[in-house]
């Protein structure tokens, strides 16, 4: 499960460029700062590598990993 914190996201789209599986795309929803938020469109393709979590400059992405 991928959660994007709409309060922190500034809409730079680096998550869209970084994801090796092209999970993210731009939505037409805006947050309180009129930023177009990304959303995980193809979440079934996510391999939970955590690259978007690491690359996000605003610490806005959380990827839930399976806990054993």
Partner 1 sequence: MVEKESPYKKYLREERLPHIFCPGCGNGTVMSTFFKGLEGTDIDFENVAMVSGIGCSSRIPGYAKCDSLHTTHGRALSFATGLKVGNPDLDVVVFTGDGDAASIGGNHLIHAARRNINLTVICINNNIYGMTGGQISPTSPKGSFGTTAPYGSRDMPFNLAELVSAAGASYVARWTTTHPLQLSKAIQKGLENDGFSFIEVVSQCPTYFGRKNKMKTPLQMFEWIKENSINKRRAEKMDEAELEGKIIVGEFANNPHAELTDNIKKLAEENSDKPLAIKSAFEELD
Residues that bind partner 1 (CB under 8 A): 3, 5, 7-8, 10-14, 16-18, 35, 51, 53-62, 64, 67
Q: Identify the CA nearest to 10 among candidates 32, 29, 35.
A: 35
How many CA atoms within 13 Å lie on the side-chain side of 13? 6
Q: CB of 30: closest distance to partner 1 in angstroms?
A: 14
- Give min distance, CB of 34 to partner 1, in A: 12
Which position has the token pair 């938020």? 37
- Which CB, 46 or 51, lies closer to partner 1? 51
């Amino acid at each position: 499960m991928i959660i994007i914190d709409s309060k922190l996201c500034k809409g730079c789209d680096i998550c869209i460029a970084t994801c090796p599986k092209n999970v993210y795309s731009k939505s037409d929803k805006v947050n309180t700062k009129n930023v177009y938020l990304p959303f995980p469109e193809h979440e079934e393709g996510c391999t939970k590598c955590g690259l978007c979590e690491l690359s996000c400059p605003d610490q806005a992405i959380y990827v839930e990993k399976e806990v054993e």
